[in-house]
A = this chain, B = another copy of it.
Amino acid sequence: MAKDIHPPRGMRDFLPAEKAQRDAVLARIVAGYTRHGFTAIETPVAEDISRLTSGMGGDNEKLAFRIQKRALTADQLRAAADAMDATSLADLGLRFDLTVPLARFYSSHAAELPSVFRSIQAAPVWRAERPQKGRYRQFVQCDIDVIGEPSALAEVELLAASADTFAALGIDGVEFRVNDRRILEGLLAGFGFDASSWPGVLISVDKLDKIGIDGVVAELESAGIHSADSLARLREFLAAVESAGLRTLTATIVRDLVGPRIVGESAEAGIANLVLIAEAIAQLPTAPRLVFDPTLVRGMGYYTGTIFEAAHPSSSSSVGGGGRYDGMIGRFLGRDVPACGFSIGFERIVDLVAPAASDERGVVLVYDNAVPLDRLIRIKQSFVERGARVRLEKRPKRLGPVLESLGAAGFTHFGFVDVGAQAESIELRSLSE
């Protein structure tokens, strides 16, 4: 690599082999969801910065790349310097997720869309995070969303379509963990936590995987605002969930684990909804594995009901997730519209997918430098027209390594174009021999 010539920090180039794999996996994901009645849309990469930072993106809002206003005056620069704040100098930002842009898109086009709108978005997002292994500043998200469907039909379609899509990618053993924000809140109410403290408590519970039960309780104790009784009851519950293990979602499991502990009608509705989902999914011929995880929180503040997360044995972090966010679109549109989404963790699964076998014929024509240009292009064209992908390759000093790399790039045959060669007389040999 030439000195200092690299893509921006935390962003990646994709060479042909990687690009082919990524595009193929994306296409298969889109095809999988399309079969289930979803349709792809696209929004610009940028949104008004005021919209991106209106409180619906959680911590990601702080990670937005901000685009400078085009004609900044001396006065504007002076004002920003005086305020010691560059915020006023940007008017657009790169999207940090696909959910806020979708809510904006739906609000712009509701009248042109079906009453229940099932969207696919497979597109890059940007976050100015500190780059680290497996975490990038530009990465692809694959979201599906059902907008306008208040019933559990939305969740069930998302789960069935996602399970089919994982299966079509050859990713077996995906487990969907489900919970409901209303159940979580009903539990916290049952434990006696003050409603104003729930968001903070959930942030701690969300760290359960990393810091364990003791860590969660210690963190909440150190906040100094929770009663010892509430913390004890939370601890008892977390221990009960731990000892029960993650069990297949059934009415019995849900009622046993959380039934006696919750308070409130909303939580009861959450339970009823999960039971409905479980019963519907169980009817599918190849039912995806749904497990009930009453400690599942999911980070984003906008979830209002069901939440899910997809786990796979080969990935330490989740390979997908989502949930119901009935309140968000109303923030843009001015009237409430129910919405529920699921996102496949594209960057986490793209390398788990085996490359699709291609039956395409790929021909490498190794040509002698003395072959006249007009003859060479005519020969190439004749192979293209016979239905092959054709690559010209000037005869190198050492042919072996070149053919090997072309074989790895999916070419299947090669032949020599010598001075005086005719297309018909070129003998093709298999590259795999």
Contact = CB atoms under 8 A, between A and B. Distances in A.
8 contacts: A7-B105, A7-B108, A8-B44, A37-B391, A65-B68, A77-B77, A114-B393, A282-B374
Contacts of A22: 42
Contact of A37 (B68, B156, B392): B392
A376 interface: yes
Interface of A: 1-2, 5-8, 11-16, 19-20, 22-23, 34-37, 39-48, 65-68, 70, 72, 74, 77-78, 80-81, 84, 86, 89-90, 92, 94, 104-105, 107-116, 118-119, 124, 126, 128, 138, 151-153, 156-157, 160, 164, 276, 279-285, 332-334, 373-378, 380-382, 384-385, 388-394, 396, 402, 405, 409
A100 B66 CA distance: 22
A376 B388 CA distance: 45
Contacts of A282: 374
Nearest to A7: B44
Contacts of A6: 108
A110 B119 CA distance: 39
Nearest to A365: B37
A42 B67 contact: no
Main secondary structure of the interface of A (DSSP, over half): mixed
Contact of A41 (B19, B65, B157): B19
Contact of A2 (B40, B279, B284, B332): B332
Nearest to A410: B39
Contact of A81 (B14, B74, B109): B74
A89 B112 contact: no
Contacts of A104: 5, 7
A14 B15 CA distance: 28
A228 to B, nearest CB: 41
Given A40-B20, A86-B68, A107-B2, A373 B77 contact: no
Contacts of A48: 8
Contacts of A332: 2, 5
A405 B114 contact: yes
Contact of A80 (B77, B153, B156, B377): B77
A389 to B, nearest CB: 5
A280 B124 CA distance: 41
A376 to B, nearest CB: 7
Nearest to A105: B13
A332 B5 CA distance: 7
A34 B389 CA distance: 6
Contacts of A279: 373-374
Nearest to A279: B374
Contact of A151 (B37, B113, B124, B373): B373
Given A35-B388, A385-B285, A40 B19 contact: yes
Contacts of A374: 279-280, 282-283
Contacts of A156: 373, 377
A8 B47 contact: yes
